[in-house]
Amino acid sequence: MIRRRLSIAILGVGLSLASLGMVQAYENEVFALKNRWEHITTQVPERERADDFSALAEDARTLAEEYPQAARVLVWEGIILASQARAQGGIGALGLAKEARAVLERAIDIDPQGNNGSAYVTLGALYDRAPGWPLGFGDSETAQEMFSRALEIRPEGIDVNYYYATFLEDEGRQGEAREHARRAVEGQAREDRQASDEALREQARSLLAELE
């Protein structure tokens, strides 16, 4: 009996170590994807980003195929696809936007927090910017729902407040847009997203100046 319990315990430790190794493996890959995304977002001129995001999206898809149940991998795949759609623009980007939406929804099914709200922020922006029915899936009510969920999870986030402010401005809700632009300016940049958060802070400053 003692030997059996010991064997079970050793097996449990082995499985835990194997799981930890898997997480560490994809975290390293996610870190690399994030760094490339930040470089493109903050260092590459907008008109030159489409090809870079296309190559990055292929790598993100490959990683997601390897780790289909890793919510963090899926969230980053969705963020990258949404960025590619925005960089590409036009009707041709709608397929990418739909793909990003599906990936992010799958991530939320696995992790209801959506990687600390990041999935909800990106979904909010997608629903805000995509064309509406019958061509696309854009919908103001759903965008509002996604942004509200993100704010519940991370109320002081620079990205949350900036993208919500731009949505509110488009909706004609100027006072609320001004308040959330101010929150974005005053928000705390994330250690792992320092460059992109600071870039959004500058955009929030510009938006706030327009609204005041």
pLDDT digits (tens, 9 = 90+) for 194-205: 999 999 999 999
Largest CA distance in the chain: 74
Instruction: Identify the structural domains of the chain with CATH numbers, from first to last.
Output: 28-143 (1.25.40), 155-212 (no CATH)
User: For the whole model, what pTM was predicted?
Assistant: 0.87
Query: What are the residue ranges in the chain where pLDDT is below 50?
Result: 6-21
Query: Which pLDDT belongs to residue 109?
Result: 98
Give the pLDDT score at 22.
Answer: 53
Comparing C-alpha atoms, which of 64, 40, 43, 72 is closest to residue 53?
A: 40
**pLDDT confidence of residue 2:** 53
Q: Where are the alpha helices (DSSP H) in 44-139?
A: 49-66, 71-88, 94-110, 118-129
CA distance 126 to 167: 11
Residue 50: predicted pLDDT = 95
